[in-house]
Amino acid sequence: MTKNEKVKYCIEQLEILYPEIPIPLDHKDTYTLLIAVLMSAQSTDVRVNQITPLLFERADNPYDMVKLSVDEIRNIIKPVGLSPMKSKGIHGLSQILIDKHNGEVPQNLEELEELPAVGHKTASVVISQAFGIPAFPVDTHIHRLMYRWGFSSGKNVVQTERDAKRLFPKHKWNDLHLQIIWYGREYSPARGWKLDEDIITRTIGRKSVINNYKKKNNT
């Protein structure tokens, strides 16, 4: 297959597997999505979804959030990890949303990335999932699969994002971002990976990746 044929095959298979694409993090509006995505850094969506209801019961908007102290927020979100940094970020960005944005989450990357504890990936997730603006946030699953499929060098997530945006049609970015994440979790994980269950990698994957897998597993 040519690279274009591989890209087309990949899109087709993901559309078959995930015609409807759930958003992994539970939320009810743009603000709660922003907080959930921030909390998910170096944590799991399952763990975040267990903790956000406890936080949002106390404060599900920036006006109520700033009434909590940083220590109160930290005690609630401690199970997700990195709670000192995340609690300061949540409190700080909530105050900025009130002071600069009338309590609303801004709809562009630049203003989102100016918020405390909000990096490029978090901002990209919010604009894509909350506002439908094309973006391609790269997490560990996407980074891994873009390498396995021979679509990126695997050097860093910045390069992986550039390659994804170059290869995939812009109108598909938001869907593909989520589809690849779900596929990575279900069929092509980092650990416990079984090539015979991973139809996309088995069909279009980087030869060195497939050969290394077979050598390691004596197949």
Q: What is the CATH number of the domain that holds 100?
A: 1.10.340.30
Alpha-helical segments (H) within 26-119? 30-39, 45-58, 62-65, 70-77, 83-101, 109-113
Please tell me the total count of domains within the chain. Answer: 2
Q: Are residues 110 and 162 in the same domain?
A: no
Q: Are residues 125 and 160 in the same domain?
A: no
Domain endpoint, select from 129, 145, 168: 129
Residue 25 included in any domain: no
85-133 confidence digits (pLDDT tens): 999 999 999 999 999 999 999 999 999 999 999 999 999 999 999 999 9
Whole-angstrom CA distances from 198 to 62, 114, 126, 134, 154 are 42, 39, 29, 27, 19
Judge if 116 and 145 occupy the same domain: no
CATH number of the domain encompassing residue 144: 1.10.1670.10
13 and 68 in a common domain: no
Q: What is the pLDDT of residues 53-79, one digit of tens each?
A: 999 999 999 999 999 999 999 999 999
**pTM of the complete model beyond 0.85:** yes
Give the pLDDT confidence of 4-16 residue by residue, as tens digits: 999 999 999 999 9
- For the chain, give the longest Cα–Cα distance: 61
Nearest Cα residue to 188 out of 151, 147, 156, 152: 147
**One domain, residues 47 and 78:** yes
Residue 215 annotated in active site: no
Catalytic residue, candidates 26, 45, 78, 121: 121
Catalytic pick from 60, 86, 139, 198? 139
Whether 196 is a known active-site residue: answer: no
The residue among 74, 102, 129 that closes a domain is 129
